Structure 1
Amino acid sequence: MTKLATLRDKKLLSEMGISINALGNASKAKVEGAETLVIEEFTGCRSVDFVTEPGAGGSVTFYESDRNRDVDLVELSALKERRPDLVKAIESAVREEIKQEVKHKMELEQRVTELEGQIETLTTERDDLKTKMAEAEKAKVKAEAQAVIKEAVDKAELPDAAKERLTERFKDAETAEGIEEAIKSEIDYIAKLSEAGKV
């Protein structure tokens, strides 16, 4: 920093420039009539230096000689040739990772199959219970209706034969609806028979 301060004090700071040694992506383009490379993005930076001739004179320099030594520039073919052990280690690690992912996926698929089976079993059990509940509710309603029918028939002032006929007629009834009317009808019928017998 003292060098920069000295240059500043001597009003020579404008003589300094910046040189960047970086990695990036570029594309060929024509700028102000000249073919050049346009930097699209920097993907890595090695160094930034203050120099008297910055930016390699305003051009982009390729370090082809570094391409085989620089890990950021090495291509797969060179890596296979110079470091087959490293390539094998990477391939082995990738294979192991894929194997673990496949195993995990198979375990998940097996778990899904198990859970689907449990869902099917539980659904069947639920449906069976719903059916049994509906049947039990229906039986309860029928039993309550039959109790009301029996009580109404027993209280009716009818001969036993008429009571038996009413009980038989309503034996499968699920509601007591119509029993009072049927009893009244029997009473009216017996009354008519009694009157007919008086003549």
Structure 2
Amino acid sequence: MAVIVACIAMMAGAARAAEQHLTYTVHMSPYGTIGTYRTTKQTDGSDTTITTEAHIKVSVAGVVLYRLEISRAERQAAGRLVYFHGVTTENGNATEVNGKAAGDRFIITSPNGTVAAPPTIRTSDPWSAGDPGAELVFMPDTGAITRVSTSGGEQTAITIGGNPLQVRRYHISTADGREQYEIWMDERRTPVMFNIVDHDGTTTFTMVK
């Protein structure tokens, strides 16, 4: 009997916990493929942990023009962001951003100081597309808070790696218009491709596994 109970408990735990390991290639015209972006999403009941690493390098004729390294972790509990830690190293200069839930606020600390945000705030990552209340986000590389508007969500079809996929497409714009995002999510709300459009041009992230 004890063995049966233990097996049932293990099966229930497996049903509650799920883990996704995703790898994206990063492409930017006219430089071509410039790096990789890796995300792990762990879900256990109502708790979700997302960790991200990115390694990006722009080179011309063997000369490195730009280098970016990203390491981030965030945790959500019952849909609320409760923890964030990120280090962004751009051309050798590191910026650290931290965040944690405190009562009815989310406290963000960056080199620019400490700010208290509402509990509904999200990070500006592709997983937040279409989330209810995702109208106020903070930039994980700087900690800056901005409003965003989201449109779309219509179902469409795309092909990635020769495989046709049914997805929902979202368009997200920051309030100042400096950044535009286009995100394609599958039926599990996994971003299979997303674009970032800013003053540097268009950068495309495409899931390869």
Q: With the length of structure 2 as denominator, give the TM-score of the two structures.
A: 0.20
Specify the structure having the higher radius of gyration (Cα). 1
Higher relative contact order (CA 8 A, sep 6+): 2
